Structure formats: C-alpha cells, structure tokens
Amino acid sequence: MSAPPPATPSPAAQPRPAVPEPRTGAPHSPDLAKVRAAVRGGTLAYFVDQFDIYLPIVVLAPATAYFQAANLSLSTTALLSSLVFASTLIGRPLGAVIFGHFADTVGRKRTTLVAVGGFGVITLVTACLPGQETIGMWSVGLLIALRFVDGIFLGGEYTTAVPLAMEWSPKHKRGLYASIITSTSPAAYAVIAAITLALLAFMPSAGLHSAYVQWGWRVPFLAGAVLAAVLFRYYLKQVHEPPSELTGEKHKLPLVRLVSRYPKALAQVFVLMTGTWLATNMEAAVTPAQLKSHLLLSSSQVTLTMLVINAAAALSYPLLGILSQRIGRRRFYIGYGLAVAVIGAGSYTLLMVSRGGFGAALGWGVLIGVFTVGTFGPIAAYLTERFPASIRSTGYGVGYSLALIAPAFYQFYLQQFDGVMPAHLAPGVLIVLAGVLICVGGFLGPETKDVDMDDDSTIPALS
C-alpha cells in the first residue's frame, strides 16, 4: 500500500517571499537614536566651528592695540586685521583636502575627533598669546600663523561631521536638518557678540593697559577651547560611523577621483560657494567696520547690531531649508541669488546712505542678515547630495572650502574702488556680485533633493 502523498500546505501556511523595505534615502530608520545623535553632533560641531572662526572678528576688534603698535597707519592696521580672519579662511581648504581624504578612507567619526582635538588645542594656545608690548610684531604674526593652522583643523572638522550627519538623515528631512545645523553659524556669531557685549559692559576697553585689551578678550577664546572639549567627548561617546553602504567603495585617492571624474560638479559648486563666501565676508567682516567708521556707532552699538543681524539670519535658516525641500534646491538658489543682489545689496546700501544711526542699523540689519548669508540654510544638504558616497566628504569639504580663497582677499577688492565710489558703498557692489554668482551657480546645477545617499545612481549630472 503506497504512502499517501504529502499534504499540500495551504496558501496561508506557505512561506512568503521576502519583500525588501522601501528605500528612504538612508538605511537608518530602525535606529532613530543614531540619527538623532549624528544630527545633534553635526549641529554642535558646526556651532563650535563657527564660534571659533568668528572669534577674531568680534572679540579682537576692541583689542587691536594688544597685537598691533599704535604707530601703524590705518591702512596697515586694517590689512593686518583682515589677515587674521583671512588666514583662517585660507587654511580651511587645505584642511578639507587632508581630512576629507581620511574621512573617505579611514572613517568619518575618527577623523572628526582628530580635527576637533586639533582646533581645540590651537584655540587654547591663542588665548595665551603675549602682546606686541612684550614681543613686538611677533605677536600679530603668531596670531595670524595660529589662525592659519586653526583653519586647517576647522576645515577638517566640518568636512567630516556634516556629511556624517546628512548620511544619517532621512531624505524628506534633509533640508530641515541641514538648516538647523547651519543656523548655528549666525547663532554662534550672535553668542560671541553677546559675550563681548557683556565683557565690555563690565570692563574698560580704552587704552593698551585696559582690562579688556589685556585679558578680557581671552575669555571667549577659553570658552571656545572648552566647547571643543565638549564636542570631542560627545563624538567619542555618542556618534557612530554611518553604515558601510552609505560610505561606498573606498578609493585610495579621493581627491584625484573628485577632480578627474567629477570636474563639472566641482566647478558648479565652486561658483555657488564663491558667491556665498563673498556675501558672508561682506556681512560678517566688512559691515561691522563700516558701522563704526561711517555710521560712527560705538563698539557696543556695533556689536549689538551684528547680534541682531545674525540672530535674524539664524531664525530664517530653518524656513529657507524647508523652502528648498518644497521647491527644490536648484530653484531655491536661483531665487535666493536674485534676492541677495536686490534685497541684500539694497538693504546694505540704504543703511549706509540713510545716516539714521543706531535705530536704522537695527532695522536694516534684519534684512541684511536674512538676505546675505541665507545660502547656508540648505547648503549642507545640497553639497552632500551633489557627490557620490565614496568621495562625499572630500567633495563636500573641497567644494565648501576651495571657494573661500578668492573672497578672503575682500579688502584688496574693496581698495580697487578707491576714487571710483565712496568706501562705504563699495561693499554693496560686491554683494550684488555675490548674488549673481549664487544665482548662476544654482542655475548650472541639477536638482538634488530626491537623491538617495545610499544609491549613487540617483545623483544627477556628476560628470
């Protein structure tokens, strides 16, 4: 008697083929804790970076006499002061190349830790510098040299921390998360301005031997070193490397691959970022000088005005990031570039010709803040979406930083307008130029908001 045939399992009992999870742009959904840790880390990292880079602009402005002899001409004093800021900017592209290489080949987290430790030590050393009364011109020379080295580490820090945060972020929230991260730039400026105002309120700053000039300026630098230590510990304990599928195949020379394989993408980003940094320098470095020299505001009034300008910018960033998520990055940058050229430059010019004093500076300052540096709102998302995973840190860092160099010599460009127009109006022309470059850079690039970080085939127009 033959055995009965095996029973056929019912359809309900049959195993079903595995259905892949829908792609969302980053395979991080099961572990939201890691997502939040990476975004918080990127936000803190960007804040600390921007806090450090703006220190000499705000904090050292009332303490120029500590580093520079009183018998120097006004033009030489202005040049040396601009070099203190420019040297940091020039060091950043070098840091992007160095640390971007290791971020793409060794790992984002480990490279971030080295960069953060480096600029924390440099900031601490800067706080201990002797003045020109002790070592002469070596004082300002050492300050410029330390800021250059600081720029290298700073360039490395955001080259690694920001792509790490964006790789963990869900696609539909990248614009918002990017804008939250970058909003800490004007927020950091505002915090530094508030600290400086508080110090100036409680200690005199007139004369070489005044309390602020001798030691008061050191307090914000020490705070910057402490922030670096906090950031280092946070990354060490809380932040994780992104999944391997997000960092792609490793390449031994990511910079060579970037330049040889993706020159058009790099050139397009360079145009956009050149306009971005030119507008930034006009807002952050030139505007306070003109408020003091042309509108004759006091040091406290200048500091408060810059606090308002940057607070307005910080509040606008999340809105601009969300807007870029709605209408697309490309449309956003085309439109925002036009707004910089018209509203940003117009607001600055009207402030300079109004001679309305402190009240006018606060009023026009809001428009200047929103319509000069808002390019940074979604920039973290846009630049990381622009390059493939295997060279993402290098592409982001070099694209972000390489364009710093030409705008860093803004003082030289402004001098070319001598005899052509008043010095207080020349920055308005450069803001117009910045807006045009942003607009053109956005027009030349593709739409990127729907890019999947773990799928290079979704990245348009790479070659």
* pLDDT for res 14: 46
Higher-confidence position of 371 and 83 = 371
pLDDT band at 17 (very low <50, low <70, confident <90, very high): very low
Dump pLDDT digits (tens) for 280-328.
999 988 999 899 889 999 888 988 998 899 899 999 999 999 999 999 9
**Averaged confidence pLDDT in the chain:** 86
Looking at residue 25, its pLDDT comes to 40
Coil, helix or strand for 36?
A: helix
What was the pLDDT predicted at 35? 82
Query: What is the pLDDT averaged over residues 254-267?
Result: 91
3-state DSSP assignment of residue 283? helix
Residue 76 vs residue 328, higher pLDDT: 328
pLDDT at residue 251, as a whole number:
63
Identify whether 18 is part of a domain: no
Supply the pLDDT for residue 37: 87
Q: How many CB atoms lie within 10 A of CB 425?
A: 16
Number of domains making up the chain: 1
- Percent of the chain with pLDDT strictly greater than 70: 90
Q: Tokens at residue 455, please?
A: 């799928």
* Residue 82's pLDDT band (cuts 50, 70, 90): confident
Of 75-84, 98-107, 397-406, 422-431, the one with minimum mean pLDDT is: 75-84
Least reliable range by pLDDT among 207-221, 321-335, 448-462: 448-462
Contact 206, 190 (CB under 8 A): no
Residue 124 lies in a domain: yes
- Grade residue 80 by pLDDT with cuts at 50, 70 and 90: confident
CB atoms within 10 A of CB 418: 10
Higher pLDDT, 402 or 250: 402
Q: What is the DSSP letter of 4?
A: P
Neighbour count for residue 250 (Cβ, 10 Å): 12
Task: Inform me whether the pLDDT recorded for 31 exceeds 80.
Answer: no
What pLDDT, on the 0 to 100 scale, is given for residue 2?
A: 46
What tokens were used for 406?
A: 């030409």
Q: Which residue has the tokens 């975004």?
A: 39
The pLDDT assigned to 462 comes to 55
Query: Which tops the pLDDT comparison, 350 or 79?
Result: 350
Model confidence band, residue 249 (pLDDT cutoffs 50, 70, 90): low
Least-confidence region, from 137-151, 334-348, 429-443: 137-151
Tell me, what CATH number does 387's domain have?
A: 1.20.1250.20
pTM metric for this prediction: 0.78
The secondary structure element, H or E, covering residue 369 is helix 357-370
Domain extent for 340: 34-458
Spatial CA neighbour of 49 closest among 126, 113, 120, 121:
120
Residue 427 has pLDDT above 90, yes or no: yes
Does pLDDT of 1 surpass 50? Answer: no
* pLDDT mean over 171-195: 90
For residue 375, the model assigns a pLDDT of 94
Mention every residue, 6+ apart, whose C-beta is less than 8 A from residue 263.
none
Helices (H), 371-403: 379-385, 392-401
How much is the pLDDT for 21? 38
**Alpha carbon distance 263, 282 (integer Å):** 29
Q: Is residue 109 part of a domain?
A: yes
Query: Is residue 23 in a domain?
Result: no
Q: What is the mean pLDDT of residues 451-461?
A: 77
| Two tokens, residue 139 | 């004082």
343 CB contacts (<8 Å, ≥6 apart)? 367, 371
Residue type, 137: M
> Is residue 246 pLDDT above 60, yes or no?
no
pLDDT tops 80 at residue 27: no
Which one has a higher pLDDT value, 61 or 243?
Answer: 61
Does some domain include residue 447?
A: yes
Tens digit of pLDDT for each residue in 383-394? 999 998 888 888
Q: By CB neighbour count within 10 A (0-12 exposed, 13-18 middle, 19+ buried), where does 436 fall?
A: middle
